[in-house]
Structure 1
Amino acid sequence: MGIFMQLKQLGKPIAIGNTAHIYRYKEGIVKLFHSYLPADVASYEGGKQQIVHAKGLAVPEIWEITTVESQPALVMSYAEGKPLGELILENESSLAHVEQYFEIFVEQQLLLHQIDGEPLELMDEKLTNQLHRATLLEDKVKETLLDQLQRMKYRKVICHGDLHPHNMLLADQQVTIIDWVDATAGDLRADVYRTYLLIAGHSVQMAELYVQLYCGKSKLTREEIFQWAAIVAGARLAEHHSPEEAVRLLDIVKHWI
Structure 2
Amino acid sequence: MKLEQVLATRANKIIYRYEDTVVKVFEKGYPKSLILNEALNQSRVEETGLKIPKIRAVGMIDECWSITMDYIPGKTLDQLFKENPEKTDELLELFVDLQLEMHSKTAPALNKLKDKLVRQIQSIKEIDATTRYELLMRLDSMPKHTKLCHGDFLPSNIIINDSGAYIIDWSHATQGNASGDTATTYLKMTLYYPDLAEKYIKLFCKKSDTALQYVQKWLPIVAAQQLLRATTEEEKKFLFKWLDVIDYQG
Same topology, TM > 0.5? yes
Return the alpha-carbon distance in structure 1 between the equivalents of residues 29 and 208 of structure 2: 41
Q: Quick one: which of 136, 140, 155 aligns to 1:146?
A: 136
Equivalent in the alignment of 1:218: 208
Report 1:9-24 matches (<5 A).
9-24=2-17
Aligned residues: 247
Q: Match of 2:18, as an amino acid?
A: Y
How far did residue 36 of structure 1 move? 4.6
Report 1:102-181 matches (<5 A).
102-172=92-162, 174-181=164-171
1:22 and 1:31 in contact (8 A); partners too: yes
With structure 1 as the length reference, what TM-score do the two structures score?
0.91
Q: Percent identity?
A: 30
Farther off after superposition, 35-44 or 22-31: 35-44
With structure 2 as the length reference, what TM-score do the two structures score?
0.93
Return the alpha-carbon distance in structure 1 between the equivalents of residues 99 and 6 of structure 2: 28
Unmatched runs of 5 consecutive residues or more in structure 1: none
Farther off after superposition, 182-191 or 242-251: 242-251
Return the alpha-carbon distance in structure 1 between the equivalents of residues 212 and 195 of structure 2: 15
Return the alpha-carbon distance in structure 2 between the equivalents of residues 251 and 130 of structure 1: 19
Q: Match of 1:193, as an amino acid?
A: A
1:117 and 1:159 in contact (8 A); partners too: no
Report 1:17-96 matches (<5 A).
17-92=10-85, 94=86
Classify 1:50/1:121 alpha carbon distance in 2 versus 1 (closer, same or farther; 3 Å): same
1:130 and 1:236 in contact (8 A); partners too: no
SS of equivalent residue, structure 2 residue 28:
coil
The answer as to 2:220 corresponding to 1:230 is: yes
1:62 and 1:75 in contact (8 A); partners too: yes
Return the alpha-carbon distance in structure 2 between the equivalents of residues 249 and 85 of structure 1: 22
How far did residue 112 of structure 1 move? 0.9
Return the alpha-carbon distance in structure 2 between the equivalents of residues 220 and 38 of structure 1: 38
How far did residue 234 of structure 1 move? 1.1
Deviations 1:184-218 (A, max 9, x none): 01100000010001111023331111111111211
Farther off after superposition, 58-67 or 240-249: 240-249
How far did residue 152 of structure 1 move? 1.2
Classify 1:208/1:28 alpha carbon distance in 2 versus 1 (closer, same or farther; 3 Å): same
Return the alpha-carbon distance in structure 2 between the equivalents of residues 20 and 98 of structure 1: 32
Unmatched runs of 5 consecutive residues or more in structure 2: none
Give the CA RMSD over aligned residues.
Answer: 1.5
